[in-house]
Amino acid sequence: LPHSHSDHCPVVVSLYGSNVINRVVRMFHFVMAWQTHADFSTMLQASWRDNVELLDSLLSLQVSLGEWNKSSFGNIFKRKRHLLACLDGVRKALEIEPNPFLFRLEKDLMTEYKIVLVQEESFLY
């Protein structure tokens, strides 16, 4: 613990020994960008439990959202970097030899990139 302006120094005493794992309790934060994902509504409906108490249902939903965030939604900023790298590669390939497949791929990547930009904006605010 940090030393204060006093001549006393606080001490942390653990009654359980060193076998106890200190877990940091993290507050749940709803990410507005989740709502832009095509599967969000379906995941929300599947995760909500009507026949239990509200707190239990919210805790269950929190776990489900955390797992879904990691497996389906992912890191917005990482996806943005990946899409930009893909777009760069496609554009370089188009300069060398234009073809319909690359034009469609560029269009699809741009559509996905625009979605990520909206998600990024809603994540930051």
CA distance 100 to 2: 64
Q: Where are the domains of the chain?
A: 75-125
CA distance 11 to 78: 42
If pLDDT is split at 50, 70 and 90, which confidence band does 11 have? low
Per residue in 99-116, pLDDT (tens digit) is 999 999 999 999 999 999
CA distance 25 to 40: 25
Q: What is the 3-state secondary structure (H, E, C) of the chain?
A: CCCCCCCCCCCCCCCCHHHCCCCCCCCCCCCHHHHHCCCHHHHHHHHCCCCCCHHHHHHHHHHHHHHHHHHHHCCHHHHHHHHHHHHHHHHHHHHHCCCHHHHHHHHHHHHHHHHHHHHHHHHHC
CA distance 53 to 115: 36
pTM of the model: 0.62
Please report the pLDDT score of residue 27 as a whole number: 75
* Two structure tokens written together for 82: 């990946």
1 pLDDT higher than 80: no
Please report the pLDDT score of residue 48 as a whole number: 86
Per residue in 70-106, pLDDT (tens digit) is 888 888 899 999 999 999 999 999 999 999 999 999 9
Per residue in 18-49, pLDDT (tens digit) is 555 555 566 778 888 888 888 899 998 888 88
